[in-house]
Chain A
Amino acid sequence: MYQYTETDQTLVDERVAQFKRQTEQYLKGELTEDQFRALRLRNGLYVQTHAPLLRVAGPYGLLNSKQVRKLAHIARHYDKNYCHFTTRQNIQFNWPKLEAVPDILAELASVQMHAIQTSGNCMRNTTTDHLAGVCVDEIEDPRPYCEIIRQWTTLHPEFDYLPRKFKIAVSGALHDRAATQFHDIGLHLVKNDAGEIGFRVLVGGGLGRTPIIGQVIKPFLEKKHLLSYLEAILRIYNLFGRRDNKYKARIKILVKELGLGHFSDRVEKEWLLLRDANELSAERIEEMKLEFTPPAYDLNAANDTSFEAHKAANKAFSTWVDHNTAVHKVPGYKAVFLSLKAPDSPPGDMTDTQLDAAADLADQYSFGEVRVTHRQNLILADIKQADLFALWQQLDALKLATPNIGTATDMICCPGLDFCSLANAGSIGIAKEINEALDDMDYIHDIGDIKINMSGCMNGCAHQSVGHIGILGVDKKGAEWYQITLGGSSENAAAIGERLGPSVAKDQITKAITDILDVYIKNRLEGESFLDMVNRVGITPFKEQVYAIS
């Protein structure tokens, strides 16, 4: 895992000092609301329905145990004993006091963390595959490139006042777990015919109000050109992106309005002027790779026999292994998901006690590292199979072992009307209601792989348009209604969900979801997943059931 150099530490310390001054100036009336708004957003600070919301960067989802303990400390001392993990691998605190935020940022800086550019119209936290470095289908570990991009995007003097927010995701595996097709720039490590590894570059993807699948602008970009190519895209966007209407200001609209061909021509022309003077040296890449070398794995880990014995003897453990662990590239190891989707807890939330305990477990079993997934769960990436049973027992006691990863109750959910000033409708309450309706774990496992994503407004923070089932809260004359889409996906075969029909009332949404799941159970072919069935039969059978007149 990357460790801060003196430069990194100085930068975050100076940023804390800068924001402390800005907050003081604002409180003294020396900065206007608009001015302070732009500055605080660039430090992760929103002003929300009840209190400010502070979004802390989880750099490409990677945290060490010391950082996790710091999050617990902040939750305990500055918030209401919990925090929330987001779809962009970040961490949110819902109840900090504005005056205390500079102190919180100083606490974060003490463990090599920050909240820089986690909101505002600037380049945001770079995200990646939560199984980077441990998955079996990896072409190359994307994290060294993520860190190089993190540094390049941080306090970039030219691109901090963009037309709109800008998000970059990197994937290094065959299977795209980083939703690179739905980012302003998606980078996918690929091998060309000559066997060299470079980047396939996608541009203009995005979710939100106008979901668009990104298009390939460069099928193969040599690694040494990574930063010059990003710079060229950003400069063209900064100069030509629309600034007259914030709903049309994302790069996806520029790409759409110009057409990929024209957009690409402009980028290419700009890039050719920059390219040769801005190469990323092979030495820099190699140095960065050294920051992400594999930990000291036990080469005899696979010789353990207790794991199979526990599985055979304990059904609950075996079920948990089936659902909440992922295959690891090293024999005898597994990546373990900590489910933050326990039935009685808001999706993605974690208490200070759980955070501290997870940090201890990371130290004890997983080389002191924790990862955040973009489906709002955590991962301990390097668990020996011999340790799985003991780990499971402890996670179970912490309510972090609900065996529902990838299932109907592993919902992505935004804070919704409960916390967010943009929301039109509640989402946490609906998630709870759906959870209660799906209280039979065998039924949930029978449904199998399904992604339900629910956002409380069309800004789409919970990526509803790429949910296999998407739920979108809308306001109808002051009442909360919900629009349903089916068939979305952010993986390799990316798709935007199709609208099922008119929105349904709040007291009908849970029944609509259970109806949809029933239609699937009754009509699926042997071994057919929910998404595959929707793709085979279309939305009609679901529509007929949901809108049937009873």
Chain B
Amino acid sequence: MQLVKNKEIINDTWRYVDEESELGEGDITVSLARWKGDRQDLFNHKGKVGLRLIPSDGVDGIVDDLEHIQLVELDFTDFSDGRLFSHAWLLRSRYGYLNEIRAIGHYIPDQVFYLSRVGVNAFLPAKSSDLPFVLANLNDFTVKYQNSVN
């Protein structure tokens, strides 16, 4: 799969490990529940580790672990659920998270401008044919009224 990161199309090197599967090798993300359950194993993992958040997950509980987290995936179960926008803002503005924040799942390319403003810097589209839309829509507006992350 390919995705847009920092306004460039790149290949995805990450793999999501569900609740039942072995962590294996390479760069992996896990759910918040698994993160909490297998924290030590994840710290010892060979390869990068990341966290996949869904809208109902809070970010307050992972603040102390952020230095170990190389990727936060924001998994849109429904594009109209705006909580992930606040999660991204909190991670960047309040907790100073500097690694990749990636939108995945059922967001729509028309939301990427807002997402980039709250600190999301990578976008995995639902289908690869959306890649050009994501890139184009990042430039929907050249002006803004409010402070945010960007």
Complex contact A243–B81 (CB within 8 A): yes
Is B142 at the interface (CB under 8 A from chain A)? yes
Is A159 at the interface (CB under 8 A from chain B)? yes
Residue of A235, A239, A273 most packed against chain B (CB within 10 A) = A239
Q: Given the known A-B contacts A10-B142, A11-B141, A158-B86, are A22 and B110 also in contact in the complex, defined by CB atoms under 8 Å?
A: yes
Please tell me which one of the listed residues A35, A160, A238, A273 contacts residue B83 in the complex, with CB atoms under 8 A apart.
A238
- For A18, what are the chain B residues with a Cβ–Cβ distance below 8 Å? 110, 140-141
Is B35 at the interface (CB under 8 A from chain A)? no
Is A157 at the interface (CB under 8 A from chain B)? yes
- For B145, what are the chain A residues with a Cβ–Cβ distance below 8 Å? 7, 11, 151-152, 154-156
Q: Given the known A-B contacts A11-B141, A39-B110, are A162 and B82 also in contact in the complex, defined by CB atoms under 8 Å?
A: yes
- For A11, what are the chain B residues with a Cβ–Cβ distance below 8 Å? 141, 143-145
Is A98 at the interface (CB under 8 A from chain B)? no
- For B148, what are the chain A residues with a Cβ–Cβ distance below 8 Å? 157-158
Is B146 at the interface (CB under 8 A from chain A)? yes
Please tell me which one of the listed residues A31, A39, A154, A161 contacts residue B82 in the complex, with CB atoms under 8 A apart.
A161
Tell me the interface secondary structure of chain B in the complex.
Answer: loop
- For B111, what are the chain A residues with a Cβ–Cβ distance below 8 Å? 161
Complex contact A155–B141 (CB within 8 A): yes
Q: How far is the CB of B65 from chain A (nearest CB, A)?
A: 20
Is B34 at the interface (CB under 8 A from chain A)? no
Q: How far is the CB of B10 from chain A (nearest CB, A)?
A: 24
Is A14 at the interface (CB under 8 A from chain B)? yes
Distance between Cα atoms of A161 and B115 in the complex (Å): 11
- For A235, what are the chain B residues with a Cβ–Cβ distance below 8 Å? 86, 89
Is A327 at the interface (CB under 8 A from chain B)? no
Total number of A-B contacts with CB less than 8 angstroms? 82
C-beta contact mask, A1-19 vs B, less than 8 Å → 1, else 0?
0000001001100110010
- For A39, what are the chain B residues with a Cβ–Cβ distance below 8 Å? 110
**Residues A134-168 near B (CB distance < 8 A):** 151-152, 154-163
Distance between Cα atoms of A39 and B85 in the complex (Å): 17
Is B44 at the interface (CB under 8 A from chain A)? no
- For A163, what are the chain B residues with a Cβ–Cβ distance below 8 Å? 82
Is A121 at the interface (CB under 8 A from chain B)? yes
- For A438, what are the chain B residues with a Cβ–Cβ distance below 8 Å? none
Is A38 at the interface (CB under 8 A from chain B)? yes
Is A278 at the interface (CB under 8 A from chain B)? yes
Complex contact A273–B94 (CB within 8 A): yes
**Residues A218-249 near B (CB distance < 8 A):** 235, 238-239, 243
**Residues B23-82 near A (CB distance < 8 A):** 55, 58, 79-82
Q: How far is the CB of B15 from chain A (nearest CB, A)?
A: 28
Is B147 at the interface (CB under 8 A from chain A)? yes
Q: Which residue of A lies closest to B88 (CB)?
A: A158
Please tell me which one of the listed residues A10, A22, A157, A160 contacts residue B143 in the complex, with CB atoms under 8 A apart.
A10
C-beta contact mask, B89-130 vs A, less than 8 Å → 1, else 0?
100001000000000000010110111011000000000000
C-beta contact mask, A329-368 vs B, less than 8 Å → 1, else 0?
0000000000000000000000000000000000000000
Q: How far is the CB of A59 from chain B (nearest CB, A)?
A: 13
Complex contact A35–B82 (CB within 8 A): no
- For B142, what are the chain A residues with a Cβ–Cβ distance below 8 Å? 10, 14
Q: Which residue of B lies closest to A22 (CB)?
A: B110
Distance between Cα atoms of A31 and B110 in the complex (Å): 10
Distance between Cα atoms of A31 and B148 in the complex (Å): 28
- For A160, what are the chain B residues with a Cβ–Cβ distance below 8 Å? 82, 85, 114
Q: Given the known A-B contacts A158-B118, A243-B81, are A238 and B86 also in contact in the complex, defined by CB atoms under 8 Å?
A: yes
Complex contact A152–B143 (CB within 8 A): no
Q: Which residue of B lies closest to A122 (CB)?
A: B82
Complex contact B85–A157 (CB within 8 A): yes
Q: How far is the CB of A284 from chain B (nearest CB, A)?
A: 12
Q: Which residue of A lies closest to B115 (CB)?
A: A157
Complex contact B82–A238 (CB within 8 A): yes
Complex contact A239–B141 (CB within 8 A): no
Complex contact A14–B86 (CB within 8 A): no
Complex contact B147–A278 (CB within 8 A): yes
Distance between Cα atoms of A482 and B82 in the complex (Å): 37
Q: Which residue of A lies closest to B58 (CB)?
A: A239
- For B108, what are the chain A residues with a Cβ–Cβ distance below 8 Å? 31, 35
Q: Which residue of A lies closest to B113 (CB)?
A: A157
Complex contact A239–B83 (CB within 8 A): yes
Q: Which residue of B lies closest to A154 (CB)?
A: B145
Complex contact B144–A155 (CB within 8 A): yes
Please tell me which one of the listed residues B80, B94, B114 contacts residue A157 in the complex, with CB atoms under 8 A apart.
B114
Residue of B81, B86, B94 most packed against chain A (CB within 10 A) = B86
Complex contact B82–A14 (CB within 8 A): no
- For A278, what are the chain B residues with a Cβ–Cβ distance below 8 Å? 147
Q: Which residue of A lies closest to B144 (CB)?
A: A155
Distance between Cα atoms of A516 and B141 in the complex (Å): 55
Complex contact B146–A152 (CB within 8 A): yes
**Residues A65-88 near B (CB distance < 8 A):** none
Known: A11-B145, A158-B82, A158-B118. 16 other contacts (CB 8 A): A11-B143, A11-B144, A14-B140, A14-B141, A14-B142, A18-B140, A22-B110, A31-B108, A155-B145, A157-B148, A159-B85, A161-B85, A162-B82, A238-B83, A238-B86, A243-B83
Which B residues are within 8 Å of any A CB, using their own CB? 55, 58, 79-83, 85-86, 89, 94, 108, 110-111, 113-115, 117-118, 140-148
Which A residues are within 8 Å of any B CB, using their own CB? 7, 10-11, 14-15, 18, 22, 31, 35, 38-39, 121, 151-152, 154-163, 235, 238-239, 243, 273, 278
Query: What 6 A-B pairs have minimum CB-CB distances, sorted nearest first?
Result: A161-B82, A157-B117, A157-B114, A151-B145, A158-B85, A7-B143
